[in-house]
Amino acid sequence: MVVDEQTDLSRGANEYVIATNVRRRGERITRIVNVYNQKNTHSGERPASKLNWQRVIRQGSTVLAGAFNAHSIRWDPRCQVQRDAVFWEDVIDENGLEIGNDGEATHHWTREGHEGESVIDLTLANRSITKWSILADDNHPTGSDHEVIEWEVEVDRQEEAGHERVVGWNLAAMTEEDAKAAEKLWMELAKGGAHLEAECKADEVEQEAARC
């Protein structure tokens, strides 16, 4: 698996947005973007909303996941007051993103003796989301008031026509002439090598290993 962080896509908001390309053998690249849509304590702005999201979102292969801190009836059936949601609703519509959330609360809070819950942690993708669930978290191992979310998206496999995976030595196509040539080459290489015996020295072993 190859993992490549795309820091240029989140320039100016690197503490709030992390874009990473992930590719496994036989699959096309999937871009996973972690979002923390929080206000900057100094400017009061939300750096995540300043990015060019059409550039961040890779066509057909992007998942956005994280704390969006936005309240909307579109992903939270208990929402009574929309707040900080218009921007993300536009990103969803303009980029054809699917909302993976099923309406279950992802955030539980207690303030001044009052308790509440909401959906502010979202999973959005322009690839089919095949699984979305909140993991059982009775003991709150993360120490957070946000739930742990597990999701999966449909795999986009890449055709590898004409390629054969070889593990170890592939001698199936070797001809008799190839075998004789290999034997001759090995004999020539062996002439200049040390003849290792039980009494050989450590440096002789290292030299022979480097030559091989």
Domains of the chain by range and CATH?
2-153 (3.60.10.10), 176-211 (no CATH)
Reported pTM: 0.71
- The pLDDT assigned to 192 comes to 60
pLDDT of amino acid 92:
97
Residue 52 half-sphere exposure toward CB, CA atoms < 13 A: 6
Neighbours of 91 (CB within 10 A): 19
pLDDT averaged over 10-residue windows placed end to end, the chain, 212 residues: 92 93 90 95 92 93 96 95 96 97 91 88 96 77 82 80 56 75 76 63 65 57
pLDDT on residue 80? 92
- Tokens 């303009």 correspond to 94
Q: Which pLDDT score is estimated for 193? A: 59
Give strand ranges (E) for the chain: 2-5, 17-23, 30-36, 62-67, 98-99, 107-111, 114-118, 121-125, 129-134, 149-153
